[in-house]
Amino acid sequence: MLLQHERIWITGAQGQVGSAFARMLDTTELDVLLTDIDEVDITDMDAVRNYAEMYRPDCVINCAGICGPAFCEENSDLAYKVNAVGARNLSVAARSVHAELVQISTDDIFDGRASEPYNEFSTPMPVTVYGKSKLAGEEFVKTIAPKFLIIRSSWVYGDGENFVTQLLRRAETESCIRVPGDQLGAPTSADEVAKVIYRLLEKDAYGLYHAVCGGVCSRYEFARRILTLAGKNTEILKADNAGENGHPSYAVLDNLMLRLDDIELPVSWEEALRAYMNKMRR
């Protein structure tokens, strides 16, 4: 039970993480406000402030964002506007109504050159516009929101466009697909991210947390597992092109703070993927 909250506002509620978290909430216990860009554009300070003052949520979960690294490189101003200024606007609004703010962030705030998992005490050093704009968003949240949670995840897939759905679509028409074998990460389902958000709110935790599924794999291994689970025999070839799709080559996060605070960890990436694909089949 999220006893300490009565009214939760989820922005980006139609996205992968936003919709997964919304599904977890018991609306007989809580008022749940769901908005996406058509209802409240988070880059519009007045719209954000007016909405917050009208509905007075005591918790704001910011799941809105511009996530594609390549798109962000080409649309740098927009990336900063949504990922940084949007987070600032929500921080200001959260402050004005004394609400807690939960911000979802990413492994892309690191440079991807490490050889061991990044924990919450590792120094961010983003190299892409996406990573830089998300880090700027984190900074606004930390300095403006009265009480905050920042939850960083990686390689997220859920209801929407993502690596899994794109690969399955390609497998319909291509007999051989090349996927980077030198890009490492921990694929994490939006459901697992949503469960961590829930657990952290339940514990009244705050601060910075990494939240990724257990284990590590390459994009190539991830792709192979997806096609195996889907029963497809499309050939997958290992390509050496880390960084080509704009993601860091080493995107592995360590859930150190979850462990230190004895908070239940996300399941392994294989188990989360199996659950996701089973759900897809239904």
Interface with ligand NAP, residue 64, by CB under 6 A: yes
Q: Please name which of 51, 22, 27, 56 lies closest in space to residue 38, comparing C-alpha atoms.
A: 51
Interface with ligand NAP, residue 11, by CB under 6 A: yes
Interface with ligand NAP, residue 36, by CB under 6 A: yes
Burial 196-231 (b: 16+ CB within 10 A, else e): bbebbbeeeebebbbbbbbebbbbbbbbbbbbebbe
Interface with ligand NAP, residue 14, by CB under 6 A: yes
Q: Is the CB of 110 or the CB of 220 nearer to ligand NAP?
A: 110
Interface with ligand NAP, residue 184, by CB under 6 A: no
Sign of CA dihedral 10, 55, 134, 206: negative
Strand ranges inside 134-206, DSSP E: 147-153, 156-157, 176-180, 184-185, 188-189
What's the closest the beta carbon of residue 257 comes to ligand NAP, in angstroms?
16
Interface with ligand NAP, residue 248, by CB under 6 A: no
d(C-alpha 116, C-alpha 92), whole Å: 36
- Dihedral of CA atoms 276, 278, 281, 282 in degrees, nearest 10, equals -100
Exactly one of 89, 91, 106, 128 binds ligand NAP (CB under 6 A); which one? 106
Q: Is the CB of 13 or the CB of 29 nearer to ligand NAP?
A: 13
Residue nearest to ligand NAP (CB): 15
Q: How far is CA 235 from the centre of its chain?
A: 29
Interface with ligand NAP, residue 153, by CB under 6 A: yes
| Contact criterion met (CB below 8 Å) for 104 and 153 | yes
Phi, psi (rounded to 5 degrees) for 178: -95, 130
Interface with ligand NAP, residue 43, by CB under 6 A: yes
Interface with ligand NAP, residue 124, by CB under 6 A: no
Interface with ligand NAP, residue 192, by CB under 6 A: no
d(C-alpha 4, C-alpha 90), whole Å: 20
> Taking contact as CB under 6 A, which single stretch among the options 13-21, 88-96, 120-128, 269-277 is the one that binds ligand NAP?
13-21
User: Mask 126-145, x = binds ligand NAP (CB under 6 A)?
Assistant: --------x-----------
Give the footprint of ligand NAP on this chain (CB under 6 A).
11-12, 14-18, 36-37, 41-43, 63-67, 82, 86, 104, 106, 134, 153-156, 160
